[in-house]
Amino acid sequence: MSLTGPVRRILFLVPPNITFQEFLHPPSNVKHVQQADGRVLGSVITDIPLGVISLSAYVKKHAEVETRLIDFNVYLNREKNFRADSFQECFSQVLQGRDVQAFNPEIVAISAQFAPSYQNFLDLAACSRQAFPDALVLGGGNLPTAVHQDIFRDSEAIDAICFGEGEKAFLALVQSGDPRSSLRGNASWVTRENAGSPEACHHDFIWDLDEIPFLDYSLLDLEGYDLNPTMHYYTAGDAGRRGIPMMTSRGCPFRCIFCAAHRTHGREMRYHSVSRVIEDAARLQSEFGAETMIILDDHFMADPRRAYEMVERLFGMGLALFFPNALAVYALDRKFLELLARVGVTQVILAVESGSERVLREVMHKPLNLGIVQRVAADCRELGIYTDCNILIGLPGETPADIEEAREFLKTIHADWFRINVATPLPGSEMYEICEERHYFKEDPLFGNYKKAVIETEDFTAQYIQDMSYMMNIELNFVFNANMRLGRFDTALNGFNNVIKAKHDHPLAHYYSGECYRELGNQARAEESFGLARRFAQGNVFWENIITMFNIPVFR
């Protein structure tokens, strides 16, 4: 291997995945945290940026580079007394800090994945341009790939945006004697000049993923990522075990209307070899203390034989497994579920998405029928695997009748928990294109976050979807909770306590936990929970209306 070119200093930046407004004034239906001074702020999820540490590892393998990373999601979780008047002020303070200025990067690379980070991306680019006027300021990730035209319209600070995966494009840039000129000659870079010509840009994939070296996990503040990772939001998420994510494949052949992953990774499946996955897992275990492998593949079950082998071998290493991106329900046959149960998987996330056959088939274009959902939920319950179902409502083409059908069906499958999400038009998805073409956007779609409805169609208003998503949550998880109906009060209690961990003042979680305690023979804890339910509901118009609507005897 020969290393070519001068040493390049690269500063990777990740903007917050939450808007400043929702950070400063979190909505009542989302998790929040309390600062040392008593202020309540929005909860900032920390997910390890696998794309960034893949880029860092790949360019270090082939060129002389020095890289650093500042993830502002971790920064905000570590900040115990946030006082800035804006995220932009916060960005500026950090980038003007002595250590960052001393590093003096030649390239600033900003990676953004989700729509709520759009304005943060623009602000971070502007602060980077001000802090490092001679540096190249670049963007990449799912969001910039999908909305590069918007970014060049809204920002003067960005020099170029990487189209899709960036390992090969980034390496060519780093190895170039004239990086600015090389941007214009590489079709994987979108520049201000070619941003209006989509045909001028294309993906340049690495087809054998084993060509990418072990990811640069050393770039991370791993303890910072332990503060509030996605897995803590699930019942099986054990805060006492270190979970570290990996992707063993890229791509997904399905054409679900709401998904935009193909804009970055394409539709054709590409894989790491099983031996390479095991080798990486062993290093994560020995060098970084990994106890749980968080598998983030978009379609882990694409090759069932490979999936079986990886699960067996990872379990043989003493590692727990967690699949937060949801496993394809159609592929979860009894044999694979028995394997998951045998290796200690206690919870699966099921990508059910809808309880309406018509919506699944005609609206979502999702290869699933509801009979499979019922069979998988029943098998999981029999095997002792907790089922957590992802549900979306509010897609273009869906009707109130479809939603009513879904509500009734979902009550019959006896899943342990349901995550009722508002369908969000992700930039780059077919849903986004339909909404844009038909003028369905009621609010700026770049601020959608699965909790806030931003579209209206001929069939529904945004307020209807907003209200219905919460009604379905109340019905399926509380009023008609499957575990309570089946007399499994200990399991039901775990679900309610998980809600209380995320939102301590949720009166229904306290009320139904009280019902569980009473059924389990703990009258003192039951009365304590009932008291908390009354305390948090009293005088709260929203909760009092919910309690009246469902005739819940909170104030008995």
- pLDDT per residue over 133-156, tens digit each? 999 999 999 999 999 999 999 999
* CB of 391 closer than 8 Å to CB of 419: yes
422 pairs with which residues across the strands?
393
276-to-208, 283, 290, 299, 339 alpha-carbon distances in Å: 11, 11, 16, 18, 22
- pLDDT for 58 beyond 60: yes
Residues 274, 456: Cα–Cα separation, whole Å:
45
pLDDT for 501:
85
pLDDT for 3:
43
The alpha carbon dihedral of 206, 210, 211, 212 has a sign of positive
- pLDDT for 510 beyond 90: yes
pLDDT band at 380 (very low <50, low <70, confident <90, very high): very high
What is the token pair recorded at 154?
A: 């809204």
302: Cβ–Cβ under 8 A, 6 or more apart, which residues?
249, 252, 253, 269
* CB of 267 closer than 8 Å to CB of 303: no
Tens of pLDDT, residue by residue over 194-221, are 877 766 678 889 999 999 999 999 999 9
DSSP calls for 278-312 = HHHHHHHHHHH---EEEE--S-GGGSHHHHHHHHH
Tens of pLDDT, residue by residue over 258-267, are 998 888 899 9
Tens of pLDDT, residue by residue over 512-536, are 999 999 999 999 999 999 999 999 9
- pLDDT for 230 beyond 70: no
Question: Domain 481-556 is of which CATH architecture?
Answer: Alpha Horseshoe (1.25)
pLDDT for 29:
59
Average pLDDT over residues 164-188: 89
pLDDT for 1:
36
Q: Domain spanning 230-480: which superfamily?
A: Aldolase class I (3.20.20.70)
Domain spans of the chain, in order of start: 4-200, 230-480, 481-556
pLDDT band at 45 (very low <50, low <70, confident <90, very high): confident
pLDDT for 2:
38
Tens of pLDDT, residue by residue over 290-340, are 999 999 999 999 999 999 999 999 999 999 999 988 788 888 999 999 999
pLDDT for 28:
66
Buried (b) or exposed (e) across 192-210, using 16+ Cβ within 10 A? Answer: bebbeeeeebebbbeeebe
Beta strands in 360-433 (DSSP E): 386-393, 417-422
- pLDDT for 277 beyond 50: yes
Question: Domain 4-200 is of which CATH architecture?
Answer: 3-Layer(aba) Sandwich (3.40)
pLDDT band at 227 (very low <50, low <70, confident <90, very high): confident
Closest CA to 371 of 337, 323, 409, 341: 409
pLDDT band at 4 (very low <50, low <70, confident <90, very high): very low
